[in-house]
Structure 1
């Protein structure tokens, strides 16, 4: 049974911040699957859903980002979910805004939520849906990730969340490798074409 965890911070102060796109995508997945309501357990909010004909668990840790692994570890133990069936949805500074990519394994790239999951849940070899938020044009990274989307980004956000939800559904339906092939392909720039 896939365990899909969206990373974010709890409370209204953080609801619309860049760091909370993981929560937003899990909410979208729940809506698309007519799942819910979410219940509190595992230091988070969770519900069961059916995606692509498979039972899945959707989880939003309420531990704050830096302790996300504590919540996921409890859910993995309860549902007996191996790391190979964990999908983490998170914001990614190293991708341009609007980019959505699927990945399995790798480092945490300074993302404290991912660091916590690697530490508590048995290593880095889990599937990820990475949602690009870009790097700040100026100022601190912390202010950027905890800041809200600007007007232009907010207008495009529904399409970004939809793309990430479709990527997550593709991982469940076809596996992470097939989802990578589908969502990580990018059109070639004119200068790259033969």
Structure 2
């Protein structure tokens, strides 16, 4: 199955570079590119790509607002959005993931990580640039101010899965760690997503760090 990708960035050279990298992959194709956030939203709604690569600073509508617009109330029916930017401030990283973005990538991460991020997003996995992961998790480790304790929300096995998700493990790695099948992990993930009303595994990971599930 070919992963259909949409690129949104206000710099033509960046769009051309990303297109060359993506189109060179045997399992990917760029279906469109946009120079601003408003155009990106319109094209995404019309073409329905599996994965979108959004810059943050764009004319008319920035990448964070475009992400919120597309994913508000979308659950699993919306596209997977990876924010790709030059800026790695806490505000942008946290804002992107809170808006529902599946991943956060710096533009200097290189073509290999870009391709991995697209494949991960298409599979429902999260990929955050290693250089910002530690700082992000430190911020998310501050406990939430309200809500029931995690053990009253999820089962013990669901908490085991969520902890590994928050540590960046893939479904296959979680299955190996817990000695269960990948389909069992997916079942726990879906049950967890429904209980937490989370749109994706990134929001599940955010919940885990905020509620002290990760020790």
Structure-1-length-normalised TM-score: 0.41
Relative contact order (C-alpha < 8 Å, sep 6+): which is higher? 1
Normalising by structure 2, report the TM-score: 0.37
Structure of greater Rg: 2
Between structures 1 and 2, the one with greater helix share = 2
